[in-house]
Amino acid sequence: MKMNQVRSQIQSMLHVESGADGFRATFKADSDFMLFRDHFRGRPVVPGISLIQAVLLAGAAHEGADDLRLCALKNAKFFAAVLPDDQVLIDAAVVRGEDSTVDIKANLTVNQKRLAQIALTARPAPAGR
């Protein structure tokens, strides 16, 4: 399995709405999400790194970029697991830096219950990568 396949599948499960100071996105990990086969058998959960990737992909959509590359993961706190078919709401604030970076602070919830907090710095990927 290639990471680009995983990223493509995560992107297909995202819906992003941009606002002036950030974005709101929904992410629903369908029961056929390819990482469920190995994470974990018998009780599949969405890997935390997949939630971070969802924030990056949603941030790229918000910024009108093809892709964002992670520069720094400042904070990633997970309070509960995301199960198959859970609808995750991502509310994020975005601050653009002078050096073409973006700081994203995201709160993730499922059914209005706090799921995770993610803060990161990213930059647009070079063209062709």
CATH of the domain at 40: 3.10.129.10
Which pair of structure tokens corresponds to residue 61? 């959509």
Residue 68 to residue 44: CA distance in whole angstroms = 27
Q: At what angle do helices 3-12 and 48-63 cross, to 10 degrees?
A: 70
Residue 27 lies inside a defined structural domain of this protein? yes
Number of domains, the chain = 1
pLDDT (tens digit, 0 to 9) for every residue of the chain, 129 residues total?
A: 466 899 999 999 999 999 999 999 999 989 899 988 887 878 999 999 999 999 999 999 999 999 999 999 999 999 999 999 999 999 999 999 999 999 999 999 999 999 999 999 999 988 765
Residue 129 lies inside a defined structural domain of this protein:
no
Q: Is position 63 within any domain?
A: yes
Residue 24: which domain range? 3-124
124 beta partners = 68
